């Protein structure tokens, strides 16, 4: 980064030129200056004005020094999870008394993403951060911002399960390969998986059977639409026949991003490519939107963003098919240990868990999602190494098992998955309605049984925007139908145009970091993408300087012309 530093000095010098002195020069000199400023500023912007040198793994970890590392973590507003984070830090600090970990907790991936983006410009990123690969792709637009981990993985002393590591860390081969692969961006690993989940359909079996249907082992979209439409029948008094209540939304989807992405994957239809090509506006997408339209019209379908959490409706007997993350399973069912609704609102029913509806039951495809951990680069390689050692600690069996058991998460290492403690946990399904809540354990098993059927979407700078766009189309169609608007081909044309404009999809194209894969959002949050944001500060300064100089040039030219004319 010496180049970058010297460029910054040059830019500073250029800025010190006063406007008057610029005016005194000839136009050619001014133009030359402008070009130099432009080049320097652009180069500076491209290469990260305050970037770090690429991380070089130190020969050994300097344990004689004190380190304070910051860890930005996400929890599902779950006290047990925060307790596990705190215990992990305490246990880690007992092993490494010279490394002090300061945690900052978030409940929303979008907030973490925005705070990281803000802090990249001031070089005040956290050391270790829970994140999604989609977001890392954007972080990587800064030079050497995120540490590539392959060299660290492989190091015999400090790598995964390395000889100098003071705890029983997994080896690289003990991280579930599919999950690790999801952290590969542009040919290198920029994260390690922390937890994995998928989506599940939580079903009120009692109501399904009351409607005259059976719950099949594998759901299809046709089935779920059919039963949902049937469930909208009303009594003469206006209440719903199936529950006798005034409210019934048979089918509620938490993350419409995932809904669209998974449907397209099941149909082998276009979404994006790893090169960043946007293929989402295709026939299958619009066919699906028309299908959704039909079922919004009957009152059979709604979304989290429009109506609220599927769990609240499910548990109150106001929803039959609630699709949410397996990591939300403790909120699902008539005996759910966690709930937002009053006890008296709960309705007693039999809850069953299935995979999301499929287009082809013989070809199941479902999203792989869940948090990963990345490490931000710092000027001190020892600090980065300390961060890596801590990140590795989060993969130990104690942390993996404890955190996974808080929700329907799956540990990301085979070492943890095969541990006697975890196998014992799985074997105790339904022993109680808390730690061994049967719905949570069924949701966990659902993912364990389907790891090979999971997929992730391509990651590139801007892929988070495409994800948002995918869900927004469903949200828009749903809202429009509810509002009595006409949803036809003209509507769809406008929708494509509006969504393209809103998420700037026409400007997206994968950069050098474009590559493999991404996990979806668990929490349905809608982080904005950097591509939606305005120009970087350096570009703004450059443009302002250019405009100002051009104005001065014009003024100078006019003045000279007038002078000459007068003479």
Closer residue to other proteins, CB minimum distance, 325 or 406: 406
Minimal distance, residue 502 CB to other proteins, in Å: 11
Closer residue to other proteins, CB minimum distance, 335 or 482: 482
- Spatial contact of 410 and 193, defined as CB atoms under 8 Å apart: no
Closer residue to other proteins, CB minimum distance, 107 or 119: 107
Minimal distance, residue 82 CB to other proteins, in Å: 5
Q: Give the count of beta carbons closer than 10 Å to the beta carbon of residue 340.
A: 12
Q: Binding pattern to other proteins, positions 516-555, x when CB under 8 A?
A: ----------x-x---------------------------
The only residue of 25, 47, 226, 482 in contact with other proteins, by rule CB under 8 A: 482
Closer residue to other proteins, CB minimum distance, 309 or 460: 309
The only residue of 2, 16, 483, 566 in contact with other proteins, by rule CB under 8 A: 483
Q: In the numeric block, which tokens belong to residue 210?
A: 């009351």
In sequence order, which ranges of 219-266 are alpha helices (DSSP H)? Answer: 221-230, 256-266
The only residue of 63, 211, 269, 306 in contact with other proteins, by rule CB under 8 A: 306
Minimal distance, residue 10 CB to other proteins, in Å: 33
Reference 76, options 342, 325, 402; nearest CA is 325
The only residue of 105, 143, 451, 552 in contact with other proteins, by rule CB under 8 A: 105
Residues in the chain: 567
Tell me: does residue 312 bind other proteins (CB under 8 A).
Answer: yes
Q: Binding pattern to other proteins, positions 111-130, x when CB under 8 A?
A: ---x----------------
Closer residue to other proteins, CB minimum distance, 113 or 153: 113
Closer residue to other proteins, CB minimum distance, 245 or 427: 245
Reference 202, options 241, 252, 247, 256; nearest CA is 252
Window 57 to 86, contacts with other proteins (CB under 8 A): 75, 77-79, 81-82
338 Cβ partners below 8 Å, 6+ apart?
78, 330, 331
Minimal distance, residue 241 CB to other proteins, in Å: 22
Tell me: does residue 342 bind other proteins (CB under 8 A).
Answer: yes
Closer residue to other proteins, CB minimum distance, 267 or 295: 295
Segment near other proteins (CB under 8 A), from 255-263, 308-316, 327-335, 352-360? 308-316
- Label residues 242-269 b or e (16+ Cβ within 10 Å = b): bbeeeebbbbbbbbbbbbbbbbbbbbeb
CA distance 134 to 120: 16
CA distance 109 to 523: 8
- Tell me the sheet residues that pair with 202: 322, 353
Minimal distance, residue 115 CB to other proteins, in Å: 12
Convert 4-44 into a string of H (helix), E (strand) and C (coil): HHHHHHHHHHHHHCCHHHHHHCCHHHHHHHHHHHHHHHHHH
DSSP states of 293-332? HHHHHTT-EEEHHHH--HHHHHHTTS-SEEEEEGGGGGG-
Place of tokens 């790598």: 159
Binding positions for other proteins, rule: CB under 8 A: 75, 77-79, 81-82, 104-107, 114, 306-309, 312, 340-342, 345, 479, 482-484, 526, 528
């Amino acid at each position: 980064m010496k180049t970058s530093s010297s460029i910054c000095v040059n830019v500073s010098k250029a800025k010190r030129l006063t406007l008057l002195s610029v005016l005194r020069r000839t136009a050619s000199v001014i133009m030359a200056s402008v070009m130099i400023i432009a080049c320097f500023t652009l180069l500076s912007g491209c290469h990260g004005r305050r970037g770090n040198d690429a991380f070089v793994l130190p020969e050994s970890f300097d344990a004689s020094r004190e380190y304070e590392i910051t860890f930005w973590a996400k929890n599902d507003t779950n006290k047990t999870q925060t307790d596990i984070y705190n215990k992990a830090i305490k246990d880690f600090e007992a092993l490494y008394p010279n490394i002090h970990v300061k945690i900052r907790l978030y409940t929303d991936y979008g907030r973490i993403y925005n705070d990281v983006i803000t802090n990249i410009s001031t070089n005040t990123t956290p050391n270790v951060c829970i994140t999604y690969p989609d977001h890392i792709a954007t972080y990587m637009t800064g030079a050497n911002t995120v540490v590539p981990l392959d060299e660290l993985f492989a190091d015999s002393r400090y790598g995964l399960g390395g000889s100098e590591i003071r705890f029983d860390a997994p080896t690289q081969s003990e991280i579930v390969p599919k999950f690790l692969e999801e952290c590969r961006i542009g040919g290198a690993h920029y994260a390690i998986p922390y937890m994995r989940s998928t989506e599940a359909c939580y079903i009120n079996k009692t109501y399904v059977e009351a409607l005259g249907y059976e719950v099949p082992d594998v759901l299809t979209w046709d089935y779920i639409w059919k039963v949902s439409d049937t469930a909208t029948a009303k009594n003469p008094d206006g209440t719903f026949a199936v529950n006798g209540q005034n409210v019934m939304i048979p089918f509620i989807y938490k993350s419409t991003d995932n809904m669209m992405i998974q449907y397209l994957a099941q149909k082998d239809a276009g979404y994006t490519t790893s090169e960043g090509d946007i293929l989402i506006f295709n026939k299958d997408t619009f066919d699906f939107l028309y299908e959704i339209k039909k079922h919004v019209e009957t009152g059979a379908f709604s979304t989290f963003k429009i109506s609220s959490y599927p769990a609240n409706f499910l548990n109150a007997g106001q929803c039959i098919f609630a699709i949410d993350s397996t990591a939300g399973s403790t909120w699902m069912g008539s005996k759910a240990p966690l709930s937002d609704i009053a006890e008296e609102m709960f309705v007693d029913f039999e809850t069953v868990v299935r995979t999301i509806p499929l287009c082809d039951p013989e070809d199941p495809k479902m999203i792989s999602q869940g948090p990963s951990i990345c490490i931000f680069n710092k000027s001190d390689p020892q600090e980065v190494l300390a961060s890596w050692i801590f990140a590795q600690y989060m993969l130990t069996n104690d942390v993996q098992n404890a955190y996974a058991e808080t929700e329907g998460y799956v540990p990301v290492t085979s070492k943890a998955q095969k541990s006697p403690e975890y196998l014992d946990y799985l074997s105790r399904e339904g022993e109680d309605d808390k730690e061994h809540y049967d719905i949570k354990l069924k949701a966990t098993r659902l993912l364990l049984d389907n790891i090979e059927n999971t997929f992730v979407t391509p990651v590139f700078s801007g892929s988070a925007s495409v994800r948002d766009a995918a869900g927004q189309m469903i949200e828009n169609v749903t809202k429009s139908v509810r509002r009595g608007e006409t949803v036809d081909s003209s509507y769809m044309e406008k929708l494509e145009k509006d969504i393209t404009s809103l998420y700037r999809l026409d400007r997206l194209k994968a950069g050098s970091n474009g590559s493999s894969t991404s996990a979806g959002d668990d929490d349905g949050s809608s982080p904005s993408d950097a591509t939606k944001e305005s120009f970087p500060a350096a570009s703004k300064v450059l443009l302002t300087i250019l405009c100002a100089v051009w104005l001065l040039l014009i003024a100078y030219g006019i003045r000279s012309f007038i002078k000459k004319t007068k003479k």
